[in-house]
Structure 1
Amino acid sequence: MHISFPSCMPEYCARDLVLAFPAHVDDRSVQCAITAEALEDHFGARSLREDDLVQAFLAHRYQIEQAAKQLLEEVGAKPVLLHSGFFRFSA
């Protein structure tokens, strides 16, 4: 399984309080997302404001993408959502 992440900006979803970002698994596009709580708890986001969440994501993009890659390897080419608890127990 080949997993890569395009360098596009994440998309903010205010309803779900997540930042969504794409992954390419083999030749399929798969949606990944990280919760605002995870960005605050583990990546220094100052608030739930979109700008603060995006800034934290960009500053820690590699770590977040590696976490998404780990989950994608476990579940296959299915959407993944990174919660705060994932980082609490994987660090």
Structure 2
Amino acid sequence: MRVTFPDDAPVFDGAQMVVRFVANVEGVPLSCAITAEALEDHFGAGSTLESELLRAYADGRERIRDVCQRAIEQSDGAAVVLRSGLFRIERA
């Protein structure tokens, strides 16, 4: 399965408290997200303010994309929401 990530800017979704981003799976755009909690716990976001979460996403973009790619592959190409616990598992 070919998973790539365009250079589109991530978007903060305050209603769901996630940062949304796009992955392309076999050339088809797929909406993915990482929770504010995961960004605070693992990527240094100091609060749930939009600016803090987007900065943390930018700082952790490579690892976030790596974990996202594996999660997409494990879900047979379905959209994923990356939660804090997933990064604990990936680190072990």
Once residues 59 and 75 of structure 1 are traced to their aligned partners in structure 2, the CA distance between those partners, rounded to angstroms, is 26
Q: How far is the alpha carbon of 1:78 from its aligned partner?
A: 1.2
2:52 matches 1:40 = no
TM-score by length of 2: 0.96
Residue type of the alignment partner of 2:7: S
User: Unaligned regions of 5+ residues in structure 2, if any?
Assistant: none
Q: Distance in 2 between matches of 1:90 and 1:62?
A: 14
> 1:53: which partner in 2?
53
The one-letter code of the counterpart of 2:38 is A
Other-structure match for 1:74: 74
The runs of at least 4 aligned residues of structure 1 exceeding 2 Å deviation read none
Consecutive unaligned residues in structure 1, runs of 5 or more: none
Partners of 1:40 and 1:81 lie apart in 2 by: 15
Indicate the percent of aligned positions where both proteins have the same amino acid. 38
Q: Output the aligned Cα RMSD.
A: 0.7
2-side partners of 1:29 and 1:9: how far apart? 14
